[in-house]
Structures are given as structure tokens and as C-alpha cells.
Amino acid sequence: MLSIQNLTKTYPGGVRALRGISLEIPPGMFGLLGPNGAGKSTLMKILATLLDPDTGSAHLDSLDLIANKNTTRQLLGYLPQEFGVYPKMSAIDLLSHLAVMKGITNRSERKELVEGLLQQTNLWDLRKKNLGGFSGGMKQRFGIAQALLANPKLIIVDEPTAGLDPAERNRFLNLLSSLGSDRTVILSTHIVDDVRQLCPRMAIIASGELLLEGAPNDALAALHGRIWSKVVATGDELQALESQFQVISTHLVGGQHEVRVYANTSPGEGFLPVDSDLEDVYFLNLSQQAKAVLPN
């Protein structure tokens, strides 16, 4: 169990990135959702020992991640949002080099591990190709391969599918789903579908605050019968609806706006009840948090 208690972080200049974040994260996939600038990367850097919090603690079982950085790094696999590679090195050579840096010095053990990880990440046929010629998705799969060196107990992946085309994104998500339930894997992203497909538990943060924690299915059940949809033709009609109801999202459909409203009963003529999805949960929590910080 990963236990995070009251983590806070304020950067020079007064930007409060984290405001007392507390989470209990069990083994398996855990989704951390939030818009850009929510504080997700700050939280991931603290857990990855790259940044110290102002206050708070983080423990993986009995291990204090913040106080025992060297031990933490031995148990950690980390794929940051910006993952750089040596472009003129081959995948197999760089992964072997990184394995040595992880302390895997036995040559036969290292060879077996590196070859196994390249096969697991579907990079075996590309093992001798220079990393500078890899696509974005290939680089992300290589990033997971290096994160899995030394069989980590905690894996952190930060915005891993941003910028990937649909085919590469599917390959990467399938790879993440295969990592198993015997370790804690934190997927930090602003892409709702990534969490919906992979994670039995999740949290939503915005402006450094925890807005929701729990199972996606429970969050969806709480919205059952309370999401209504209507297609409007003009911006004026959309503006009028936004002034009357709790509009949680709008989408363009054939050049017109599909409006999704949160309400206990029908908002009126033209609205149809629709099944809630995780995007509704996400936008509802963001809209409620935005209203809470607006001046009176």
C-alpha cells in the first residue's frame, strides 16, 4: 500500500502546486487525473525522490519514500513526461547500460533481463535500431522497459500517451495493462479514457487539491440519472443554458453544440437522459472546484 499524507509544495514565487494531498493507493493500476497544471507532475516528482515536499509524508508499506531516497530508487520505476534517450545508441545497448546503472552487474543475468524486457515491450525486432529513429510510441515503450529494470515495486508513468497516435496509444495501454497487480502502478494523465480503460481506482486533482478518490464505477453510479444532453444550434442558446443550468461539458456534433447538464430532474424541453461516463465525472468535479474558488 502506498500511503500519502498531507503533501504540500509551494514553488518560489508563491505558486502552490500541492495543497495537503492525502491518498491511499493499493497495488495495481491507479489513475491520477487532472488538467495541465493541476499538480500531478509535482506529486510524481516527490514520489520519485526528485523533489522534496514542504510538508507531509509518503510511505510504501513501511518504507519512508522521502526520508530514504536511495532505498526508494532501488524499488522505483519511473517514466517522466519528458523522457530523453541517447539517439545514436541502439535500444539493446542503452537498456543494458541502464541496467548496469541500476546495479545489475552480472552479465548473463543482465542479458537475460534486457532481452526479456525488449520482448515484453514488443521492441525485440527493433533492438539494434538507434533510438533516434524511434517513433514517439516506440520511445514510450522503451521508457517502460527501462522503468521495469530491477523489478520495481512502485512504477510511476507521467502523461505517457500525450502526443501518441491512436495505434501507438493502444499498444502502450495494452503494455501498461500487462504489468500485473503485485505492484503499484500510478498513471498520471489528463486523458480520461486512459484511466477508464486501465484503472480500478483513481483520484482527480486540480489546482493542487484532491477533488475525488475512489473507484470509477462508484463515481459513475453516483451520476446515474443525473446527466442530460441537448443539441443546440447557436452560441446564444448555449450561453443561455450555461446561465440557467450546471453545464459540465459541451462537444461539437456536426457543427452544433451537444450540451451535457448535471441535474436531478430534466432541465426542460429538448433534454434527453444519457448514460454517464467518466468524462462527466471528471468535468463535473472540475466545474465544482472552479465555482468553489470564484470570488463572491
121-165 pLDDT, tens digit each: 999 999 999 999 999 889 989 999 999 998 899 999 988 888 888
Please determine, for residue 191, whether its predicted confidence score (pLDDT) is greater than 90: no
Compute the distance between CA of residue 118 and CA of residue 123 in angstroms, rounded to an integer.
5
pLDDT greater at residue 92 or residue 167: 92
Q: How far is CA 248 from CA 11, 152, 245, 275, 282, in A?
A: 31, 39, 9, 14, 9
222-266 pLDDT, tens digit each: 999 999 999 987 778 888 888 899 999 988 877 788 999 999 999
Query: Is residue 204 within 8 Å of residue 239, measured between CB atoms?
Result: no
For the chain, what percent of residues have pLDDT higher than 70? 97
Identify the CATH homologous superfamily for domain 2-214.
P-loop containing nucleotide triphosphate hydrolases (3.40.50.300)
Compute the distance between CA of residue 266 and CA of residue 227 in angstroms, rounded to an integer.
9
Q: What is the pLDDT of residue 296?
A: 44
If you average pLDDT over residues 63-74, what whole number do you get? 94
For the chain, what percent of residues have pLDDT higher than 90? 61
Please determine, for residue 295, whether its predicted confidence score (pLDDT) is greater than 50: no
If you average pLDDT over residues 269-277, what whole number do you get? 91
Q: How confident is the model at residue 290 (pLDDT cuts 50, 70, 90)?
A: low
193-202 pLDDT, tens digit each: 889 888 999 9
